[in-house]
């Protein structure tokens, strides 16, 4: 297990940010690749490292208690209600960007995405950075992965994504395995009024129903329609390297047998006992333990099995927590095909279904 970031690491990381450099840091959702949100050159460094188009906006991360008015204008009352209810936590609010905040942070749009993460290492980094900046300071950070890839949920994942960046170019703060495991819920409250309700741009751990409980209206589902450009809303995204397909339980067995007949190998992730012909992986898609640090749960191949079955948690939050780490672990096996058993099409599974649907779409599924 690698060492969790302490005060010395956090101080060095905050100073790196002040000097315009890059710092990867843990949040409760996934690891972020951070730079000073008010330094356009530093933000350009994020885009270059990720290989991400520069018209894609990034989220600005704030310490608890930060002054929203420094970052956004025309803030609606319901934004404050949502902040009271869900910050710190995995909810990103899209608001109108304050005039003096560089447009580089939002890909040239007049809005800004703000979020206050609950992870203690993120909070210490953000608070210390803001102090060094003289009070106000935010860290722009997309997920710390190359464009289009699976988001990192451990510090080791981050290092694996950026082998070309040594410590002098990227500080990686370790905060263990991310608790939530998938990216924050994104809610656009920047264009309310005239019958326009808040728009859910990206489903996440905080559900539409939970948001409705606070603001009294169900957000509209906008992802992929006329929503402002959201990189995670690209149809194909969040993809592992191994081709991935989503199938119903009854389709998996036949599809797998066809592939094996051609000499291919398959790792399937699904619910309950393995279908005929599959060998259970000894490590199921279980939530990583709290103290697991940065180690991947890993999957051990049984013999020379060509059909491996990874048992998925029945609970959507546990599934989300383990999902990206498992896809990365499966990628190391060199199988020809990943098959994911389709989870239920219910509200509770919306965020997971969104991510795995996009992963499958990357392979035309």
Binding residues: 29, 52, 61, 111, 115, 141, 143, 151, 184, 202, 238
Is 179 a residue that touches ligand TXA (CB under 6 A)? Answer: no
DSSP assignment string, 27-50:
-SSS-EEEEETT-HHHHHHHHHHH
In three-state secondary structure terms, 216 is coil
Among the listed residues 154, 184, 207, 294, the single contact to ligand TXA using CB under 6 A: 184
* CA 131 vs CA 63, 71, 125, 126, 137: distances in Å: 10, 16, 10, 9, 8
Of 207 and 265, which CB lies nearer to ligand TXA in the complex structure? 207
Stretch that binds ligand TXA, among 73-81, 179-187, 262-270, 348-356 (CB under 6 A): 179-187
We find the least distance from the C-beta atom of residue 32 to ligand TXA, in angstroms, to be 3
Q: Which residues of 263-290 are buried (b: 16+ CB within 10 A; e: fewer)?
A: eebbbbbbeeebbeebeebebbbbbbee
113 near ligand TXA (CB under 6 A) = yes
Among 13, 186, 244, 247, binds ligand TXA (CB under 6 A): 186
Q: Which of 76, 232, 240, 293 binds ligand TXA (CB under 6 A)?
A: 232
**Nearest distance from residue 102's CB to Mg ion, in Å?**
21
Task: State in angstroms the smallest separation of the CB of 274 from ligand TXA.
Answer: 33
Please name the helix (run of DSSP H) or strand (run of DSSP E) that holds residue 177, with its range, or none: none
For residue 119, the SS3 value is coil
Q: Is 143 in the site for Mg ion (CB under 5 A)?
A: yes
Sole binder of ligand TXA in the list 118, 143, 197, 222 (CB under 6 A): 143
3-state secondary structure labels for all residues of 273-300:
CCCCCCEECCCCCCCCCCCCCCCCCCCC
**DSSP character string of 236-285:** S-SB-SS-EEEE-HHHHHHHHHHHHHTT--EEEEESSSPPTTPEEPSS-S
Applying CB under 6 A, does 203 fall inside the site for ligand TXA? no
Q: Is 109 in the site for ligand TXA (CB under 6 A)?
A: yes
Q: Does 112 bind ligand TXA (CB under 6 A)?
A: yes
Find the binder of ligand TXA among 63, 93, 141, 329 (CB under 6 A): 141
Q: Which residues contact 262 (CB under 8 A, 6 or more apart)?
A: none
As measured in angstroms, the least distance from the Cβ of 359 to Mg ion is: 13
Using CB under 6 A as the binding rule, whether residue 157 contacts ligand TXA is answered as no
Instruction: Select the residue interacting with ligand TXA from 76, 142, 275, 287 (CB under 6 A).
Output: 142
Whole-number minimum distance, CB 82 to ligand TXA, in Å?
15
DSSP summary character for residue 312: P
Report the distance separating Cα 340 and Cα 130, nearest Å: 43
CA distance 45 to 141: 11
Q: Residue 184: name its binding partner from Mg ion, ligand TXA, none (Cβ under 5 to 8 Å by kind).
A: ligand TXA
The token pair at 169 is 């170019």
Q: Between 103 and 257, name the residue whose CB sits nearer to ligand TXA.
A: 103
- Total of residues contacting ligand TXA (CB under 6 A): 28
Q: Which residues pair with 188 in a beta bridge?
A: 94, 199
Q: Which range, of 90-98, 142-150, 280-288, 354-362, touches Mg ion by CB under 5 A?
A: 142-150
Residues at the interface with Mg ion (CB under 5 A):
143
Residues at the interface with ligand TXA (CB under 6 A):
27, 29-30, 32, 56-59, 90, 92, 94, 106, 109, 111-113, 115, 141-143, 183-184, 186, 201, 228, 230-232
């Amino acid at each position: 297990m690698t060492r969790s970031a302490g005060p010395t690491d956090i101080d060095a990381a905050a100073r790196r940010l002040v000097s315009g450099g890059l710092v990867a840091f843990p949040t409760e959702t996934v690891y972020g690749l951070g730079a000073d949100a008010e330094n356009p050159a530093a933000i350009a460094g994020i885009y270059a490292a990720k290989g991400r188009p520069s018209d894609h906006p990034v989220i600005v991360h704030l310490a608890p208690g930060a002054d929203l008015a420094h970052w956004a204008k025309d803030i609606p009352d319901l934004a404050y209600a949502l902040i009271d209810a869900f910050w710190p936590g995995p909810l990103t609010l899209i608001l109108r960007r304050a005039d003096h905040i560089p447009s580089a942070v939002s890909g040239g749009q007049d809005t800004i995405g703000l979020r206050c993460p609950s992870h203690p290492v993120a909070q210490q980094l953000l608070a210390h950075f803001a102090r060094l900046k003289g009070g106000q300071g935010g860290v722009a950070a997309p997920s710390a992965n190359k464009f289009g890839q699976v988001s990192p949920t451990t510090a080791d994942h981050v290092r694996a994504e950026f082998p070309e960046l040594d410590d002098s170019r990227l500080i990686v703060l370790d905060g263990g395995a991310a608790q939530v495991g998938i990216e924050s819920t994104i809610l656009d409250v920047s264009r309310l009024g005239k019958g326009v309700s808040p728009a859910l741009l990206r489903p996440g751990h905080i559900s539409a129903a939970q948001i409705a409980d606070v603001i009294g209206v169900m957000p509209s589902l906008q992802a992929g329609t006329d929503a402002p450009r959201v990189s995670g809303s690209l149809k194909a995204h969040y993809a592992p390297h191994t081709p991935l397909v989503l199938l119903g339980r009854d389709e998996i067995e036949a599809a797998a047998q066809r592939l094996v007949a051609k000499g291919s190998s398959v790792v399937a992730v699904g619910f309950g006992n393995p279908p005929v012909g599959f060998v259970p992986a000894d490590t199921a898609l279980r939530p990583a333990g709290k103290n697991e640090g940065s180690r991947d749960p890993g999957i051990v191949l049984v013999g020379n099995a060509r059909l491996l079955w990874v048992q998925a948690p029945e609970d959507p939050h546990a599934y989300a927590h383990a999902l990206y780490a498992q896809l990365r672990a499966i990628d190391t096996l060199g199988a020809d095909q990943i098959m994911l058993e389709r989870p239920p099409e219910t509200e509770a599974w919306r965020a997971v279904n969104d991510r795995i649907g996009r992963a499958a779409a990357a392979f035309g599924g």
